[in-house]
Structure 1
Amino acid sequence: MGDLTLASTAIDGLQVIRLDVRADNRGWFKENWQRAKMVALGLPDFSPVQNNVSFNTTAGATRGIHAEPWDKLVSVAHGRIFGAWVDLRPGDGFGRVVTLELGPDTAVFVPRGVGNAFQTLADDTVYSYLVNDHWSPAAKASYTFCNLADETLAIAWPIPLDRAELSEADRRHPRLADVTPMPPPRRLVLGAGGQLGRALLTAWPDATGLTRADLDLTDPAALAGIDLSGYGVVVNAAAYTAVDAAETEQGRRVAWATNVAAVAALAHAAEEHRTTLVHLSSDYVFDGTVELHREDEPFSPLGVYGQTKAAGDAVVATVPRHYLLRTSWVIGDGKNFVATMASLADRGVAPSVVADQFGRLTFTDEIVRAVNHLLAVEAPYGTYNVSNGGPVTSWADIAREVYAARGQDPATVTAVTAEEYGRGKDLAPRPRHSALDLAKLSATGFRSRPAADRLAEYLAR
């Protein structure tokens, strides 16, 4: 009997759990999986869905080395085993080995891609696997195997393999030098044809990208067929962003279908497959009466577009593994405010630009950097503001910077109020203040690049 403890090993993510076994004259009792206690100690909340049990008749039964496309918690219900784990993931740890004897008092958390093997040291040994995905023939096709007798691994099996019980399949597995590392879970980008989608696919050349032509987010039948099995991350960069058209009868319906109903279907699929959902949101979920918006500010959208984004945000927040990234004034490869101003400057047009709406630009590569950072450091799930840093400016200020960069007189830009600009136009209401507080993202170690620097680089290209 002892306290529940958790210890790391030489293999990244492979953790040893010493269980609290309570024994008396009748036998013993243990909590083999106790989510609250184990997660509090630092074990991943891996959401198991299937329990497999291996009964081994005699000492010397040997199984492995199998790396599977899911996480698992392995333990012994009866008997004793010699366990061996081999990192079969790409990277510096490939081929690293950890060995350990296990009885009923010990369990091991084995992350996806780490090969698992064991040899029984007693007759009638019962070995248990608690896994977080359902077995299927398709899943088995993605296993990665390594030979138990590989010389470079040099596993010191207590019972020599020539006297152990092995399956013929395990005897035929490849040596480590011939093993292809198990690739990381795939990534999916929805909205791949947009500014951010294109930037993500540039950064993630191996990701799958779906455009509007590939997946109609307004079609309930198409949404019902979303299958995220095999995907570790899905980024929802798709949205209905026609702010003014969203106020029309047809636009309102499309906005709700795309920004809410589709997000609900995606959230359901992400939760079902334990996929990390990265969802892009907007400053339009606020009315702009607060000069600097924090992540915990209550929703107060002014128009239909903002209302649908706020509703989508509320849905995403229910997904256990989610990063909700709130952005403002997005600039990338495509149609956007900076590109429009640059075109006007090049053509010698003197525009009128709103001077009483304030915020910061968010370049798409900044969003990509933030996504990569949050995933890499395994930041706590939740909502994060993402924009470029530096001073808060108005649209007119930015337009003047663009004109100056294009060799035009900044005074060519006429500053007007939002009311003056909208006179005679059928425009949706817009927040006056769009600047986002970046402190929460900064606390994870991310450093936002100044918007002015990125604007100069963007225009130079």
Structure 2
Amino acid sequence: MSAELTLDQSPIPGLVVLRLPLHGDSRGWFKENWQREKMQALGLPDFGPVQNNVSFNGSRGTTRGIHAEPWDKFVSITTGRVFAAWVDLREGDSFGTVFHMEIDPSVAVFVPRGVGNSYQALEDATAYTYLVNEHWRPGITYPALDLADPTCAVPWPIPLAEAEVSEKDRSNPRLDAVKPMPPKRALVVGARGQLGRALLAELPDADAVDLDELDVGDAEAVAAWPWHEYELVLNAAAYTAVDPAETPEGRVAAWRANATAVAHLARAAREHRLTLVHVSTDYVFDGTAEVHTEDEPLSPLGVYGQTKAAGDLVAATAPRHYLLRTSWVVGDGGNFVRTMAGLADRGVSPGVVDDQVGRLTFTTELVRAIRHLLDVGAPYGTYNVTNGGPATSWADVAREVFRLRGRSADDVAAVSTEEYGRGKGLAPRPRCSTLALDKLQATGFEPEDAFVALRRYVASLG
């Protein structure tokens, strides 16, 4: 028995053994069978159990397994002893790895999703209990392995010929016939937009949906989605029409897409332990600060900003979330840079505002930052993401585009926001959209200069 709670790794990635202190006297013993705070501090995943099961084995030699259920399990003994064996049946280099040991009430084992588990009772009236983080569902299928598989060669203390084994378990396949369990997948929501397409280019194995396949503004549709198959949801869906958002119809659409839908995704993330990646905007600020940090109080000016600010608040209710605020997004589709290139090519000399300041964010850079945060396991929370370099005005960007298209930068006239918007009924816009990048850089990410990326993008337009 262990005098203190300890955690040991096993040869199977993610499978850990905990030694539990037993406090006993003449009456029996007591133990803290699962203690979230203490066990997490030692390295146990916060796996979020939702169901507790007990398996009772009447006679010595009862043997169950080898089953690789599609959920995590936390297994411990309440009475008796068992010989336990695990075989990794997940896709990857560790497929087929075997680990076994004897378990009594002083030992608990965390078994990750897709690792086959099996138990042989070494005493009569043995019972083990296990917490799982998915509710049992009828008709579910999962990999299983022959208890006598010669490749794994589990050294059962009681020969299987003498053990009590169900007919189903005796007919399980050998290792070379087992179809490995694939990992949970990623889902890109809003896959047809500029950001969605960029995400899929970087994450080709991700599933992709748009509103006609999953209406994230519909609570019932989101609740019915098979989230147990996923571990990551990237929300690239949004209502981004800043000016139409000020109309009665646009206001309703903006709130539904930018706030209500995000609330539904955040709830799914909470309930199914998903990582939620949600993209927001500089419009959640009023633009009065010279540089906006992640912890600046929200102060949106117009409906678009207000709905995005509401989305920020509900996205942050997901325990595992990356909320990325960005500005001046440019990608594959209609955008300011493409418009300026077209004007330059057609010989037009536009007037462009020079009193709104910020940085461009190319969708490739935004996706690169998302991938970085996920790969390095950065702390969950809010991050500003834009390209790097000095802040510029929209007029500065337009002039550089004109220069790259062979026109004179002087062909772009500078105008004020008031002049540009006179008579157009435009929504209010933040004058300063520059986002601080220190927090992102502290994770090891170095943003590419916006004008370096701009030159490459304009060249790609042909």
TM-score band w.r.t. shorter chain? over 0.9
Output the CA distance in 1 between the equivalents of 2:441 and 2:396.
Answer: 26
Query: 2:5 is matched by which residue type in structure 1?
Result: L
Match of 2:37 in 1: 36
Match of 2:336 in 1: 337
Match of 1:298 in 2: 297
Output the CA distance in 2 between the equivalents of 1:224 and 1:97.
Answer: 37
Q: CA deviation at 1:384?
A: 1.6
Query: 1:11 is matched by which residue type in structure 2?
Result: I
Identity of aligned residues (%): 65
Q: CA deviation at 1:223?
A: 5.3
Q: CA deviation at 1:291?
A: 2.1
Match of 2:159 in 1: 160
Match of 1:11 in 2: 12
5 Å matches for 1:360-379? 360-379=359-378
Q: CA deviation at 1:134?
A: 0.3
Query: 2:270 is matched by which residue type in structure 1?
Result: E
Instruction: Say whether the 8 Å CA contact 1:218–1:254 is kept in structure 2.
Output: no
Q: CA deviation at 1:431?
A: 1.1
Match of 1:97 in 2: 98
- 1:289-339 deviation digits (Å, cap 9, x = unpaired): 222222111101111111111111111111222221111111111111111
Match of 1:426 in 2: 425
Output the CA distance in 1 between the equivalents of 2:194 and 2:280.
Answer: 14
Identify which range, 415-424 or 236-245, moves more after superposition: 415-424
Q: Flag the 1:407–1:173 CA change in 2: closer, same or farther, 3 A.
A: farther
Output the CA distance in 2 between the equivalents of 1:59 and 1:438.
Answer: 62
SS at match of 1:144: coil
SS at match of 2:373: helix
Output the CA distance in 1 between the equivalents of 2:218 and 2:120.
Answer: 52
Q: CA deviation at 1:195?
A: 0.6
Residues 1:416 and 2:415 are matched in the alignment: yes
Identify which range, 76-85 or 156-165, moves more after superposition: 156-165
Q: Flag the 1:106–1:219 CA change in 2: closer, same or farther, 3 A.
A: closer
Output the CA distance in 2 between the equivalents of 1:448 and 1:152.
Answer: 49
Instruction: Say whether the 8 Å CA contact 1:193–1:212 is kept in structure 2.
Output: no
5 Å matches for 1:277-316? 277-316=276-315
SS at match of 1:162: helix
Q: Flag the 1:221–1:24 CA change in 2: closer, same or farther, 3 A.
A: closer
- 1:365-409 deviation digits (Å, cap 9, x = unpaired): 222223323333333222122222222222222222222222222
Identify which range, 204-213 or 304-313, moves more after superposition: 204-213
Output the CA distance in 1 between the equivalents of 2:332 and 2:389.
Answer: 22
Instruction: Say whether the 8 Å CA contact 1:388–1:449 is kept in structure 2.
Output: yes
Q: Flag the 1:441–1:166 CA change in 2: closer, same or farther, 3 A.
A: farther
Match of 1:460 in 2: 459
- 1:21-74 deviation digits (Å, cap 9, x = unpaired): 211111111111111221222211111000111111222222222112111111
Query: 1:121 is matched by which residue type in structure 2?
Result: L
Match of 2:440 in 1: 441
Any unmatched runs of 5+ in structure 1? none
RMSD: 2.0
Query: 1:441 is matched by which residue type in structure 2?
Result: L
> Which stretches of structure 1, 4 residues or longer, exceed 4 Å deviation after superposition?
216-227
Query: 1:114 is matched by which residue type in structure 2?
Result: V
5 Å matches for 1:92-131? 92-131=93-132
Match of 2:51 in 1: 50
Q: CA deviation at 1:126?
A: 0.8
Output the CA distance in 1 between the equivalents of 2:74 and 2:292.
Answer: 42
SS at match of 1:333: coil
Query: 1:115 is matched by which residue type in structure 2?
Result: G
Aligned length: 459
Q: CA deviation at 1:121?
A: 2.1
Q: TM-score, normalised by structure 2?
A: 0.94
Query: 1:179 is matched by which residue type in structure 2?
Result: V
Q: Flag the 1:446–1:6 CA change in 2: closer, same or farther, 3 A.
A: farther
Q: Flag the 1:262–1:19 CA change in 2: closer, same or farther, 3 A.
A: same
Match of 2:175 in 1: 176
Output the CA distance in 2 between the equivalents of 1:164 and 1:441.
Answer: 57
Q: TM-score, normalised by structure 1?
A: 0.94
Identify which range, 300-309 or 424-433, moves more after superposition: 424-433
Output the CA distance in 2 between the equivalents of 1:92 and 1:346.
Answer: 53
Match of 1:195 in 2: 194
Instruction: Say whether the 8 Å CA contact 2:222–2:268 is kept in structure 1.
Output: no
- 1:243-264 deviation digits (Å, cap 9, x = unpaired): 1111122211221122112222
Match of 1:213 in 2: 212
SS at match of 1:309: helix
Q: CA deviation at 1:216?
A: 4.2
Output the CA distance in 2 between the equivalents of 1:78 and 1:416.
Answer: 80
Instruction: Say whether the 8 Å CA contact 1:226–1:269 is kept in structure 2.
Output: no
SS at match of 2:227: coil
Q: Flag the 1:225–1:121 CA change in 2: closer, same or farther, 3 A.
A: closer
Match of 1:265 in 2: 264
